[in-house]
């Protein structure tokens, strides 16, 4: 699948797909944002500073392949000179995936506003 197909499948009926894709297109016009694809996983990378990147994931992979894609993305980020990757998720399944990568991911808990609502989230920080 191409990046657009992966993202559309991943967001499914969770959000207004047209509105979401317009918002994504607006972000991607900015140089600090880019998409990177590994298999059927697309990572939205947001460069926060020269050493830190925030990563958001869209995937239609099995958990096993998703683990491999995270490892591949981490290697790619390290090769680009980043020292830290951060993200968050509201699903506990991502905690298990983080553990299965074998990477030194620090997992915490916090709160983020998602779709206008404050929600509890898991936070992830990876020193590259």
Partnered with residue 124 across adjacent β-strands are 87, 107
φ, ψ at 116 (rounded to 5°): 80, 0
φ, ψ at 3 (rounded to 5°): -60, -45
Choose among 50, 32, 76: nearest CA to 103. Answer: 76
DSSP readout, the chain? --HHHHHHHHHTTTS-HHHHHHHHHHHHTSTTEEEEEETTEEEEEEEEETTEEEEEEEE-S-HHHHHHHHHHHHHHHHHTT--EEEEEES-THHHHHHHHH-S-EEEEEEEEEETTEEEEEEEEEEE-
Q: pLDDT band at 18, cuts 50/70/90?
A: confident
pLDDT digits (tens, 9 = 90+) for 75-98: 999 999 999 999 999 889 999 999
Choose among 42, 112, 128: nearest CA to 77. Answer: 128
pLDDT of residue 56: 95
Q: pLDDT band at 111, cuts 50/70/90?
A: very high
Predicted model pTM? 0.90
């Amino acid at each position: 699948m191409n990046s657009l197909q992966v993202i559309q499948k991943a967001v499914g009926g969770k959000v207004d797909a047209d509105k979401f894709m317009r918002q994504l297109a607006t972000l991607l016009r900015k140089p600090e944002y880019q998409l990177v694809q590994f298999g059927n996983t697309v990572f939205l990378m947001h460069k926060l500073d020269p050493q830190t990147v925030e990563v958001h994931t869209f995937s239609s992979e099995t958990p096993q392949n998703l683990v491999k894609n995270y490892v591949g993305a981490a290697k790619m980020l390290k090769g680009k000179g980043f020292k830290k990757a951060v993200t968050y998720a509201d699903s506990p399944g991502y905690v298990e995936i983080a553990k299965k990568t074998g990477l030194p991911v620090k997992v915490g808990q916090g709160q983020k506003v998602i779709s206008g609502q404050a929600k509890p989230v898991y936070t992830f920080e990876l020193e590259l």
